[in-house]
Amino acid sequence: MVIDQEHTGIMRKKTHPRQLGVPLNRWGRNLISCCPFHSPEETSLFFYDALGYWRYRCLQCGSEGDLVEFVMRSRFNGMDEQSARAEATEFLGAREHEQDADPDEHPWIKEIGGEKSRVLENFVRYCHWAACKSPSSAEFLESRGWSIGQAQLYGLGYYSGDPEPFYSYCMLSGIERHQVSFYLDNLEDYREPRITIPARNSKGLIHSVYGRSMENDGAHNPYISYASGPSDIPFNIQPDNDKPIIVEGMFDALTADLAGIPGVVSTMYQDLTLSHLYKLKACGAESITLILRREPNRREQEFRIQNYLMMAEAQGLRFKSIVLPEGETVDLMLRNYGADHLLNLIAETEEDTIHTHRRSVLLQDIKENYDTAMGCPPNECVGYTLNTFPQFTRKIDGIQSGLFYVSSNPFSLKTSLLSSLALDLIESNPTVKLIYIALETPRRQIFDRLIAMRIGKSVLDVRKKNEDEQVNQMILEATRKLMEFVRENRLEIWEDHPTFDNTELLATLKEEQRQHPDLVVMIDGIDHFKVTDRSDLDDIHERRSSAMLDIYKSLDIPMFLGGELVDEEGTLIAPRAYLRDSDAIYWLETKDGEHSLTVNSKRLGNNNLYRSTLSIDPESNRICEA
């Protein structure tokens, strides 16, 4: 329903629900009362500020309207509409000439005849009307636990991505196309359907309109702004708020407000900045509580929280931080457990200082580590499975996070083992993304080796057309499957290049891990890897090993390093640094025509984790358990 603009002069500044003489309670940023129209004892009637006008809506019976209509229905219902409206207007004590001379009107409203305000308000009205007509937006809101009636309380709407209907709508309101393009300057840039929400400053004036993607694709920041403007105003900011609660998502803030928790603001998935804190402090903040989702890289998240803590302390603000359990959000927590659960969690959380923060994080990590372990049934594999190594998978409970060094005697089998493990991981685990970094082998050879392993033919057979058409068909199908892995973004093969160093590698892999949490990295030819830092270490192997260890600690994923170990008089020697830093060492050895794999570890329980005889395909060199 498009908000009726006939009485906007009456509704804007002078009138307020508290003038109606009905019992009202603060509920989030809204006011709530019993509904006189269907059940006087049921508290379901919301009074909400809609674009500067107070309106009412009952979430049970659906009654809605402006304050004049509320007074008409509740007090003058026996009169004809014209008389009842006149009586209601007089009851509210508002006069149009008084509104015109309002000295307290915000300069933004007066600016250029209120053009920006008019354009943004019309866009919000149009989008709410579109949400009422759009099945896709209703389905999305319903999936988030929101009804259209609840959405109306906060101005939630729907924009299809096509601006032409909105231009036509604006013409009916006397708004020119160039005015829309000027104030909604990003409208033409985003053509996909989105849920819209007005963003207000602390005085309640709309400064922009956000659009949220309706695709739940795990995007880190699903929000865009249709109007250029300040991006550092916390969403849902309110005046006179001494203990704001800062959350990440729009629905986190809105669901908290709908649950009656005041002062919940959102950074809209931006990092918390000093500018955010300045604005919250200007609204009366004395302490802040920051609630974050758990991120895969817990170490990096902890460093960011420490930075937020130092910013808050510099501003004289008390600070609490809460990292929710994995997969949990404020929105889900409120819907599953209610407002009291969140408020109790905040009340029981100790205020952070530089000294107490590390302790709080450690306690939470210990509990989450226990909960994760106890949530995994005894017969379920913790890590990634290997279908061609079933006994090994059972022995080590799957491929888990770790730094693993792979070598062989003869040395050439090291690459065959890495390639066999890589192919098995991709084929057996549909969520895994594998990055194979070939530092000593051209990428084309890796393609040929993987195709040959899939069809059980030699690398030479896949490099030219075969006389047997059946073999050609097998090569075609294997090639298509390899391309499918690449198209699905489950396989990448990188080559070495002159500027490749550990800093660049870490930055690239961090971004990959953000997009694909189930990431596995294999680096073949580690002894050839170029490292440009840690010049304080004299030994080249020490420097390379230190770089790999730093990358592993930052990512906490399975990392396989393929390189050379020297077997001299039965003792494994150089490079010793890799032996020291590895979680496990995979040693493939051929003696008297028999191939055996030994996996040793000084970190993962017994020294000898696994030893078994393996078979190697004589054509493709694919390795599997015998």
Within the chain, which residues score under 50 in pLDDT?
A: 1-13, 95-113, 218, 574
SS (H, E, C) 332-396: HHHHHHCHHHHHHHHHHCCCCCHHHHHHHHHHHHHHHHHHHHHCCCCCCCCCECCCCCHHHHHHH
Are the C-beta atoms of 195 and 140 separated by less than 8 Å?
yes
* Residue 105: burial class (beta carbons within 10 Å; 0-12, 13-18, 19+): middle
Structure tokens at 605: 């329980």
Distance set, CA 470 to CA 267, 455, 465 (Å)? 59, 11, 11
Q: For residue 337, which phi and psi values (nearest 5 degrees)? A: -120, -15
Are the C-beta atoms of 263 and 244 separated by less than 8 Å?
yes
* Residue 580: burial class (beta carbons within 10 Å; 0-12, 13-18, 19+): exposed
The HSE-up count of residue 463 (CA atoms within 13 Å, CB side) is: 9
Residue written as tokens 């359907």?
193
Q: What confidence tens digit (pLDDT) does each residue in 96-114 have?
A: 444 444 444 444 444 434 6
Structure tokens at 343: 């408020």
Q: Is the dihedral of CA 423, 429, 430, 436 positive or negative?
A: negative
Structure tokens at 444: 């084309």
CA gap 22, 576 in Å, rounded? 80
Q: For residue 223, which phi and psi values (nearest 5 degrees)? A: -105, 145
Distance set, CA 164 to CA 50, 159, 276 (Å)? 25, 11, 35
Are the C-beta atoms of 593 and 616 separated by less than 8 Å?
no
pLDDT for 50 equals 65
pLDDT for 45 equals 87
Q: What confidence tens digit (pLDDT) does each residue in 519-528 have?
A: 999 999 887 7
Are the C-beta atoms of 229 and 208 separated by less than 8 Å?
yes
CA gap 261, 26 in Å, rounded? 10
Identity of residue 467: E
Among candidate residues 112, 108, 97, the one with its CA nearest the CA of residue 52:
108
Cβ neighbors of 485 (< 8 A, separation 6 or more) are 426, 491
Residue written as tokens 């005041």?
262
Cβ neighbors of 525 (< 8 A, separation 6 or more) are 438, 439, 440, 441, 496, 562, 563
In the chain the domains, ranked by start, together with CATH numbers, are 8-104 (3.90.580.10), 108-372 (3.40.1360.10), 390-625 (3.40.50.300)
Residue written as tokens 């996070």?
401
pLDDT for 537 equals 67
DSSP lists the bridge partners of residue 436 as: 493, 522
Task: List the 39-50 sheet strands across, edge first.
Answer: 25-27, 30-35, 39-50, 53-58, 64-66
pLDDT for 262 equals 86
Residue written as tokens 């009205």?
125
Cα 297 from chain centre: 13
DSSP lists the bridge partners of residue 614 as: 595, 625
pLDDT for 95 equals 42
Are the C-beta atoms of 262 and 251 separated by less than 8 Å?
no
| Distance in Å from the first CA to the final CA of the chain | 70
Are the C-beta atoms of 600 and 585 separated by less than 8 Å?
yes
Q: Coil, helix or strand for 235?
A: strand
